[in-house]
Amino acid sequence: MEKNIRHQFQQYFGKEALIAAAAPGRVNLIGEHTDYNEGFVLPGAVDKKICVAIAKNEEQKINMYASQYQNKFSFGTNELHPVKGWATYLLGMIYFLQKHNSDIGGIDILIDGDVPVGAGMSSSAAICSAFGFGLNELFHWNNSRMELALTGQKTEHEFASVKCGIMDQFASLHGKKGHVMKLDCRSLDYSYIPFDFPDYKIVLVNTLVSHSLAGSEYNTRRQQCEEGIATLQKYFPNIFSLRDVTSEQLESHKTSLSEVVYRRCHFIIHENMRLLQGCELLGKGNIHAFGKLMYASHDGLSREYEVSCEESDFLVENARSFAGVVGSRQMGGGFGGCTINIIKNDQVENFNRHIRSVYEREFDKTPEIYITQIEEGAHLIL
């Protein structure tokens, strides 16, 4: 796809693209619901990506074509407002980048990609990242990758009405082959953690369950965490988020919390601990011990944070008993979406056949399966 994005642009617009860029989707190995509690996440860029080709025009028009959807839009340069569909991400990036840089005038844009929509790999972040990276190069704006990530997040918030964290855009722009990234969601400091296991693949299994509960339940979980902090601050005035709370502090005032709030806090505190321990294990090349932490993460998501679903639990339990799978858990906000699995190469096909068979038998539908590996973040296509 990278190789022919310029050719596609030439065929559609009848001229050469001035710049072409690509940005990947992402996975998160461990660390769910920790972002809004100012904790840590551990994403990696994957080998599914969005590509974009751009050229200037003299029409004062923003002309867009998406090959994967086979549809087009055209807007005047004064029509930068939210719209429905994929075009809103491009309009949002132009709107916010122009505020801090020069006006771009008219441009022609072609995008194509293979990041699955709705599978939890953040296709929207990949669109924002690829396009922002391309504009930054074309107009020599010198925005940092973090500034582009924050612009993508702002676009999600204000042009797509999705109140996401920074992880998706950060991972798409900062990815590094053979590494995942430990991101501190409070300071935005990050470090690269080795994830170079050529004998293993990352396999996502899509439950095909929509995240219908995710919005309302997500807000409820945030409120419950905030309630826990408000109570614990009475005893420990120097804590500001669950990231600051130790397991001992939580246990010492367990009776001051409702059972539900205690379980929510317990999960977040221990999920952060699992992530930090997991980084140490990956640094030592211990993928098997890391996999055990993934199972523990899923158990917490299911029983303590209660954001799993019957289908995700079923997939993880079947992965747990399958030879060659070192770790499995639900990925993302919950109530559907994908499970993420780390599987020995020589067992991937057997696993795929097995999981399709048992899932079809149990739920009368065939799960989508994506085989991925950790790759580079946003880059130019030369």
For 341, residues 6+ apart whose C-beta sits below 8 A from its C-beta are 202, 203, 204, 205, 319, 325, 327, 328, 351
Task: Report the alpha-carbon distance of residue 307 to residue 292 in Å, rounded.
Answer: 20
Task: Report the alpha-carbon distance of residue 298 to residue 328 in Å, rounded.
Answer: 8
Main-chain dihedrals φ then ψ at residue 341, nearest 5 degrees = -130, 140
DSSP string, 99-125: HHS----EEEEEEEE-PPTTSSS-HHH
Spatial contact of 128 and 149, defined as CB atoms under 8 Å apart: no
pLDDT > 70 in the chain, percent: 99
pLDDT at 165: 82
Which residues are part of the catalytic machinery? 168
Q: Which domains does the chain have, with CATH numbers?
A: 2-195+376-380 (3.30.230.10), 201-372 (3.30.70.890)
Structure confidence by residue, pLDDT tens digits, 261-277: 999 999 999 999 999 99
Residues in the chain: 382
Structure confidence by residue, pLDDT tens digits, 218-229: 789 999 999 999
Is the pTM of the predicted complex or chain greater than 0.75? Answer: yes
Spatial contact of 331 and 339, defined as CB atoms under 8 Å apart: yes
Closest to 265 (Cα-Cα) out of 316, 215, 224? 224
pLDDT at 119: 73
Q: At what angle do helices 259-283 and 287-303 cross, to 10 degrees?
A: 170
Is the predicted pLDDT of residue 217 greater than 90, yes or no? no
Main-chain dihedrals φ then ψ at residue 201, nearest 5 degrees = -120, 155
3-state secondary structure of 54: strand
Structure confidence by residue, pLDDT tens digits, 234-263: 999 999 999 999 999 999 999 999 999 999
